[in-house]
Amino acid sequence: MTEHLDRLTPRQIVFELDQYIIGQNDAKRNVAIALRNRWRRMNSPEDIQREIIPNNILMIGATGVGKTEIARRLAKIADAPFVKVEASKFTEVGYVGRDVESMVRDLVEQAVGMVRTQKKEEVKIKAEQAVEDIILDALIPPVHASGVAKVRTDNGSSNAIPEDDGELNQRTRERFREKIRNGELDNRKIEIEVQQNQSPNVGMIGGAVDDVSMMNIQEMISNMMPRRGKKRKVTVEEARKILLDEEASKLIDMDEVKMEAIKKAENLGIIFIDEIDKVASSKSGGSGPDVSREGVQRDLLPIVEGSAVTTKHGIIHTDHILFVAAGAFHVSKPSDLIPELQGRFPIRVELNSLTESDFYQILKTPKNALTKQYVAMMESEGVELEFEDGALREIAKIAFEVNSEVENIGARRLQTVMSLLLNDFMYDIPDMIGADSHIVVTAELVTEKLSALVKNRDLSQYIL
């Protein structure tokens, strides 16, 4: 489980984050250390492992500066299960909010999905062979007692092949196996049987039933119901896709998957709690909405502190899950959180507001830069899109000005500006602008399309 982390030093983690996130070096360093500490804990003597608690992080910064992206990319780098929740969803728990334990259950579901995918990849070759055999049986049914084998044709009829013994039939099957592997029979129709799991929706009359109990009841009833096969007529290509997942599932041990997933979630899981400032209560009184907010904090506390949560896959202990909380803290401040919860987020990181220069780098540098996304989309239509350096600087300048004058939504403003700039082109392709065209976005084009809108404060407030 720690082999992947073994190769990730803090510097390498920061380098990986730099490929997608501009600036925020302090935040990157802290999350890199937190991630490396997980490897250090798991490679410490067993008697001390339990005592090493994760350094949970509280990120403070306005919307759109990269808080969520840092946490999400960190999880991808570590190949760790990751869940993002908004703390405000837990407000007034039991009335309109969600049960705080649901985020831990979601994390386990993520982990189960990751481990299942990994296990399926391990048995992929065996599963492919099993799928080939099923497809071959549909194309060339076994030899009949009469000693005649039959090969299905495209129209559903059968061509008889006399057999002296099973040897010729075997050679025919091998020849067809090669054709399947080469894709020569992809468009041929065959009839296959697909397993269907009868999983009825169950409702309870009477007292309230919690989420876990309901999931367990539904799973129990689902296991009791017989699996029924349904015959479908599909192409060989479609059959391969449908059957591969089914055959791979038969080859993996789900009990082993669940055990590994819970271990992975416990030791590597990352839960990102956004908008935590929305549940920070002022010190003014003891009634009104502040009671609900403080109640959410007190519900979050045992999860962050370390507790056992029951899920449909088993019990998970949250002691070593890494929690990253984030909030803008415009109205409230971190000290408005209850002291016990504050103490569970010992690492405080303040993220900087993005500058015009940052916007320029965001458009130009990251692997997933907006400009690169638009270039890729245009390429799919056979159109070449090019951004001049001056155009990128002008887009960055406009986005920064709008953020300063209207409302600061960080890097998300770039999406609005880019969309407005390129929407006419996106609409005209491919009807008005044909394939093999070359579009160059210049500073003059950006000014022409956007500057008038930016100057009109009333319009920019609603459109940008």
Q: Of the candidates 265, 350, 321, 397, which has an alpha carbon nearest to the alpha carbon of residue 53?
A: 321
The position carrying tokens 């990730």 is 8
Nearest CA to 240 out of 194, 305, 201 is that of: 194
Q: What is the CATH number of domain 356-454?
A: 1.10.8.60
- pLDDT of amino acid 370: 92
- C-alpha–C-alpha distance, residues 195 and 246, integer Å: 8
Q: Is 441 annotated as a binding residue?
A: no
**CATH code, 3-113+264-350:** 3.40.50.300
User: What pLDDT sits at residue 371?
Assistant: 94
Domain extents for the chain? 3-113+264-350, 124-251, 356-454
Q: Does residue 143 have a known ligand-binding role?
A: no
Q: What's residue 95's pLDDT?
A: 43
Instruction: Supply the DSSP symbol for 142.
Output: P
* pTM listed for this prediction: 0.78
The reply to whether 294 sits in an annotated binding site is: no
| pLDDT above 80: residue 168 | no
Instruction: State yes or no: 172 annotated in a binding site.
Output: no
Equal fold, 3-113+264-350 vs 356-454 = no
Q: Give the residue from 236, 321, 225, 342 showing the smallest Cα distance to 279.
A: 342
Q: 238 among the known binding-site residues?
A: no
CA 32 vs. chain centroid, Å, equals 20
229 exposed, middle or buried (CB, 10 Å; 0-12, 13-18, 19+)?
A: exposed
pLDDT tens-digit map of 175-226: 887 877 777 777 887 777 777 655 555 555 544 455 555 555 656 565 565 6
At 301-356, the pLDDT tens digits run: 999 999 999 999 999 999 999 999 999 888 888 888 999 999 999 999 999 889 99
CB hemisphere CA count around 120 (13 angstroms): 14
- Is residue 66 part of an annotated ligand binding site? yes
Residue 310 assigned ligand-binding role? no
Backbone angles phi and psi of 23, in degrees to 5 = 70, -155
DSSP line for 382-445: T-EEEE-HHHHHHHHHHHHHHHHHT---TTHHHHHHHHHHHHHHHHHTTTTS-TT-EEEE-HHH
246 is in an annotated binding site: no
The runs of H, that is alpha helices, within 197-280 are 211-224, 236-251, 254-268
